[in-house]
Amino acid sequence: LARSVSSRYGVSSKSFDLRRGSEPQSRRGSDDDMPVHASSLPDVRATEAKTVPPAVQHPVRAEDVVYETSIQPALNCADPRQLVPAPAPEVALGSDTVAEVEAFAGFQDGVVNTPAGPIRTETVSVTVGTRIAGLLRSNCAPALDKSDLPTGERGCLFRGLSVEYLSTTFLKELDVDENDTVYDIDARVMKRTESQLCPRDSELGAALVDVVSDPNAGLANVMLSYSWKYRVKDIVAGLLEYCANEHLQASEVRVWICALCVNQHRVRKATVPFEQFQEVFGRRVRGIGRVLALLSPWEQPHYITRVWCVYELYTAMTTPGCVLKIILPQQQKEDFRKAFVGGGGARRIWRALSELRVEQAEASIVADRERIMEIIRAGPGIRALNHLVVKRLQSWFMESAAGYLEQRISDGSQELSDAALCADVGDLLINLAKFPRAQAVLEAGIRIYVAAGKAMAPSAAPLHRWLGSVHSEQGRYTTALHHFEKARKMLEDMDHDLPPTLEAAKLLHAIGDVHTFSGQAEAAQSCYRHAVNTLEAAGKGVSDAMAEILQSEGELLRRRGEYGQSLKKYQEAMRIMTHTGSRASPKAATLVQGVGMVLVAIGRYSDALTIYTIAMEIFEATGTTATPAAAAVLWNMGQLYGKQGDGNQALKVFALAGEIAQETGTAKTPLGARLLLGTGVELKKRSKYQEALQKFDEALILLKQINSANSELAVEIYWRIGQVKGHLGDTAGELKSYEEAQAKGTSKGWRAAVVLAGVGELKLKSGKSAAAFQIFVQAASILEESEAANSKEAAYIRQSLSKVHAARGELSKALVASKQALEIYRKAGMGFSGGASRVLHAIGDLQTEMGQYQDAEATYLEALDIFEETKTATTRRCALVRKSLGFLQCVAGECGQAMEELEQALTILRSIGLSHTSEAVEIMTCKASVLTRQGCTDEALMVLEEARDVASELEQDIGAQVALTIAGAEAMRHVGKEGYIEEFARGIALMEDGSKLETKDGAELLRQYAEALRGSGQIAAALEQLGRAQQTLGALSLGRTHSAAKVLQALGSVHREQGDFAKALEMFDECEELLAEIGLAKTISAAQLRVKKGKVCHAKGDVDAACTLYQSAVDMHKAMGTSRSLWAGKALLSLAAAKQEQGSSEEARLCREEAIQALQDGGFRNTRDTAQAMKHLRSSFMGVLGTMPASEIDTFSEGGDCPAAENG
């Protein structure tokens, strides 16, 4: 994954925008963002066959291929600017969480501090999803045509000496002792060759290869890359080891060695320009085709400290067809084995790997070093080179340990010491995700114990524990527990108690992990506590084992929402690992990941991304990026990208993690199920509901196969399925999914409460608010019993209760509940989380409905601030908040700003691939409504047509279809087009088909339908629909809600149309009382009601009463800050008409002017109301309009085909 080290590390690095997956175009193909599969790599065997002369070809093995076929993801990080941490809420670990993790990982002030010394970090440029091989295919030198190569005679630039000669005659002739380095023998080589004629230029002074008597010398088939600080006998030993490993005769292998094959006499006399050396050396690498890089000692190779060695390594990496092998002398193998068997071997391996840094390499000429580093940066990158060396050395470690042991077992060894070594080797192989090989080694160790008659010996317990871990890592939990139980019986005393030993504690921890994976949190916690007590009793309170247990406890606390306590556990574990020197290990990376997951939960996304990046750096430094643990970090990164709205990036990361899972044999584990879940969630966001369901179903099938059908993960998947079913209008399927989730989970804990809340949400959508309320109260009680009353889940339940109050029309209670939810988030340190932004959105919506328009605007802006701070301003949720803000601005008479917000919301959805979703339809529908209110009906209809095209692609999203239908009908009614009644009827039919007509939304639709019928003169039909709406609301116990008030207001309007003024006023008075009762006496609805009552009085001839009511409506708009709204303009026009009728012409003129100004300022320039006002002013007060051209006045009536504006 793309990586540029941020400025927080004090490094000046190239900008790299991960969200676009960009890097310099010269190194990118059209498909660089996608994973490079093995099938797309070049045929390396064919390449090698062409480039190596037939006489020197070796059998090609998989590990020889320079293009690795295993996944090697580099680090994942955002643009450096995106790593600036958001203002952090207070948590137990404080605001220094990232700094603490950086210090733990060795990052301080732009430097990685290691026991080997400080290392300054460098820039990385590895494309998302590509393997290192994919990078190396670009910017490589062309392969050399060998058809004209010489045959290796004296004087040939490609002539090499045989390993047989080097290991015998050479050592004797130059009198090489045990400690002689290449530097030490240089003078002897010079003296040996100074009087010899060089066959290359016919002058005195030759290369040793051209003068010695080696009957096997000839065209080199390997090139040695090494350091002159190496001991000569170590070099020879390394070459002999290579021959033995490759099953080659020493006489067959001819080596090109610079100290012996370059004419050193000429080198002393002339300075070779770097460019010339680069060309000659590259030609030699291409010509020989196989490079052996000799590393020694195994823990801190001198080779990596010399820049010319690094350059040779780089050249070998970037040369097509060149095979690169890393070799070590036999003595180093023995030293390594002693260190491994002697205890702490694994820790020393991880430390050795993590300390390899080619950027530390030095040169006697500084300019050479800088030039070489620039070349490497421009090619695969320094980190890619580091990674290759680490992977090759890691492979050597593995083969030295496992290969040695496997050979002894193959030879029939029955030594118990070898059986004990099987446990250590098994541990190493498990960490490298070599599960089949680990299983074979561990089972071989068990067989040795069985053959010795000691099958139940306590010393055999580690073998069964590690074998159980092999099965656990692959999701075979029943088999894992079987082996753990065997190990337990081996360790138990006569009373069946475990002894206070390190092994017993490790076993308890392993059992606890299986319980965690299986969703049995209480059993897991019991095992962890027992393990901690066992370690303390054994005097191992400060050990790697204790750190790992604390990490597992931190994970359980995080799942329960106890983030402060969770961070404390992680903090303690980091301190222990620092003390034990294990911070450079895969376990440390997993620990760091846990901290990142907590930061995600509390909304600190930028910090979390930094933490995940550090975890990947540790994996990369130890050569363990292609492991399930690293894939788990990628899964979390993918989730984080999804939260930040970058769904495309999330899917790419999930795919990369999936490839790792496939290659390591862990695709059929909870990790694989999580990857399917994450992919399904991203598809759901795109409204691809059927595809999402398919992924969720695959995840469930997988969990059933590994006996995890009752795990917490299964519960979450059923919950997600219920959500999708709800979007598809499948109420029965939604309920069934929630019931399945309840059945699979426990009746306790936060997850049980959340699943129960899902059932409550379903009841609420079905109009059963009383039942929903009881369910939410029950869910809240579960959280209190679980001591999670202040968790994010508690905030979610509180917000659900707010929805119930809102549905009942209890808006004040709903607002209180939402504010309580927000307070819970803030107290939990999650004030910047996605949950907090959702609650703020809901609060803003409630404030809008209650007429608290200025407060609502401030609330929406606060939510948008959170999106900005957490780098989630391009997410679906942010787009919906902007939609609500746009609607509010339209209501308040700020149509220009409203359109900007709505357009920005659509832009966000388009930028993240959600332009064809129900949310996009919702925003386009709102945009069309604003345009309709502005009188821009043609534009509105065009937007609606676009929205209809999108909606037709959605999978049975009834809500989107109905909203679109009603918006279209309203626009058609506004311009007097026929067919709008039929559109309303179609909306009714859609609701009925989805069994949603008998709901609050259904009642609202019936009211709108009745308003349309009234407008078309179908009074009886309108009364019938309003009666149905009242009946629906009554059945839902919503007779005293805002929806009910709207129905009363509509009834009053129908009676006014009939001329039944007394009945109309009765309905309006009842409506006014209801609005006051539910706290909506100071809203736009209340102001509209005053205007409607005024019209009735006006029609009755009571103009004074009408003026009073109109004036009160105007005053209400001014008080609410909505004096530029369409409704305020209408109220002013009604007041002007009444004033005119009273004979107050001047006041009428002033009212009309004020109305025109308000409508124009609010963006309603082209509306019918503006046209009518201009008409009156033009016909009655031409003197006032003397300075306004008639053509400008006419434009107000040309904005639409409105019949009422024909005479404008």
pLDDT confidence of residue 22: 32
- Which residues pair with residue 120 across a beta bridge? 111
pLDDT confidence of residue 342: 55
Of the candidate ranges 93-97, 201-205, 1152-1156, the one whose mean pLDDT is the lowest: 93-97
Could you tell me the maximum CA-CA distance found in the chain, to the nearest angstrom?
131
pLDDT at 266 over 60: yes
Of the candidate ranges 492-506, 865-879, 928-942, 1085-1099, the one whose mean pLDDT is the lowest: 928-942
Asked whether the beta carbons of 593 and 610 are under 8 A apart, the reply is: no
* Residue-wise pLDDT tens digits, 594-624: 999 888 877 788 888 889 989 988 888 777 8
Q: How confident is the model at residue 110 (pLDDT cuts 50, 70, 90)?
A: very low
Rounded mean pLDDT of the chain? 76
Q: Which residue has the higher pLDDT, 742 or 1063?
A: 1063
- CA 525, distance to chain mean position in Å, is 29
Average pLDDT over residues 162-176: 94
Average pLDDT over residues 351-370: 69
Out of 227-231, 644-648, 1037-1041, give the one with best mean pLDDT.
Answer: 227-231
Q: Which residue has the higher pLDDT, 499 or 957?
A: 499
Give me the sign of the Cα torsion angle 520, 589, 376, 316.
negative
* Residue-wise pLDDT tens digits, 1053-1066: 899 888 888 998 99
Give the span between the Cα atoms of 301 and 610, in whole angstroms. Answer: 30
pLDDT at 40 over 70: no
pLDDT at 778 over 60: yes
Tell me how far CA of residue 282 lies from CA of 51, 153, 312, in angstroms: 14, 21, 9
Of the candidate ranges 524-528, 708-712, 876-880, 901-905, the one whose mean pLDDT is the lowest: 708-712
Q: Which residue has the higher pLDDT, 1124 or 906?
A: 906
pLDDT confidence of residue 18: 25
The vertex-878 CA angle with 875 and 884, nearest 5°, equals: 145
φ and ψ at 35, to 5 degrees? Answer: -60, 140
* Residue-wise pLDDT tens digits, 881-930: 999 999 888 888 788 888 999 999 999 988 888 888 778 888 888 888 88
Q: Which residue has the higher pLDDT, 372 or 553?
A: 553
Average pLDDT over residues 839-851: 91
Of the candidate ranges 103-117, 409-423, 782-796, the one whose mean pLDDT is the lowest: 103-117
pLDDT at 978 over 60: yes
pLDDT confidence of residue 118: 40
Q: Which residue has the higher pLDDT, 877 or 1170?
A: 877
pLDDT confidence of residue 511: 93
Average pLDDT over residues 43-47: 29
Q: How confident is the model at residue 463 (pLDDT cuts 50, 70, 90)?
A: very high
pLDDT confidence of residue 858: 94
pLDDT confidence of residue 1164: 72
Q: What percentage of residues in the chain have a pLDDT greater than 90?
A: 20
Average pLDDT over residues 658-680: 85
Q: Model's pTM, two decimal places?
A: 0.59
Give the span between the Cα atoms of 653 and 449, in whole angstroms. Answer: 44
pLDDT at 1175 over 80: no
pLDDT confidence of residue 64: 30
pLDDT at 1088 over 50: yes
Q: Which of 907, 862, 919, 861 is nearest to 885 (CA)?
A: 861
End-to-end alpha carbon distance in the chain: 63
pLDDT at 1135 over 70: yes
pLDDT at 125 over 60: no
- CA 1185, distance to chain mean position in Å, is 62
Q: How confident is the model at residue 330 (pLDDT cuts 50, 70, 90)?
A: confident
pLDDT at 311 over 80: no
Q: Which H or E element spans position 336?
A: helix 330-341
Average pLDDT over residues 104-131: 40
- Which residues pair with residue 218 across a beta bridge? 160
Average pLDDT over residues 143-158: 62
pLDDT at 6 over 80: no
How many helices (H) and strands (E) would you count in the chain? Answer: 54, 9
φ and ψ at 713, to 5 degrees? Answer: -65, -40
Of the candidate ranges 292-296, 355-359, 617-621, 861-865, the one whose mean pLDDT is the lowest: 355-359
**Contacts of residue 1176, Cβ cutoff 8 Å, sequence gap at least 6:** 1136, 1152
Give the span between the Cα atoms of 588 and 605, in whole angstroms. Answer: 21
Q: How confident is the model at residue 145 (pLDDT cuts 50, 70, 90)?
A: very low
Q: How confident is the model at residue 256 (pLDDT cuts 50, 70, 90)?
A: very high
pLDDT confidence of residue 820: 92
Out of 12-16, 335-339, 733-737, 1202-1206, give the one with best mean pLDDT.
Answer: 733-737
pLDDT confidence of residue 853: 87
Asked whether the beta carbons of 347 and 585 are under 8 A apart, the reply is: yes
Q: Which amino acid, 1076?
A: A
Of the candidate ranges 92-106, 168-182, 420-434, 579-593, the one whose mean pLDDT is the lowest: 92-106
**Contacts of residue 924, Cβ cutoff 8 Å, sequence gap at least 6:** 906, 943, 944, 946, 947, 950
- CA 284, distance to chain mean position in Å, is 45
Q: Angle, nearest 10°, between helix axes 461-473 and 435-451?
A: 150
pLDDT confidence of residue 335: 75
**Contacts of residue 785, Cβ cutoff 8 Å, sequence gap at least 6:** 748
pLDDT confidence of residue 685: 79
3-state DSSP of 1069-1096: HHHHHHHHHCCCCCCHHHHHHHHHHHHH
pLDDT at 447 over 60: yes
pLDDT at 55 over 90: no
pLDDT confidence of residue 116: 36
Give me the sign of the Cα torsion angle 590, 592, 594, 597.
negative
Q: How confident is the model at residue 557 (pLDDT cuts 50, 70, 90)?
A: confident
pLDDT confidence of residue 187: 92
pLDDT confidence of residue 340: 66
Q: How confident is the model at residue 1048 (pLDDT cuts 50, 70, 90)?
A: very high
pLDDT confidence of residue 569: 92
Q: How confident is the model at residue 70 (pLDDT cuts 50, 70, 90)?
A: very low
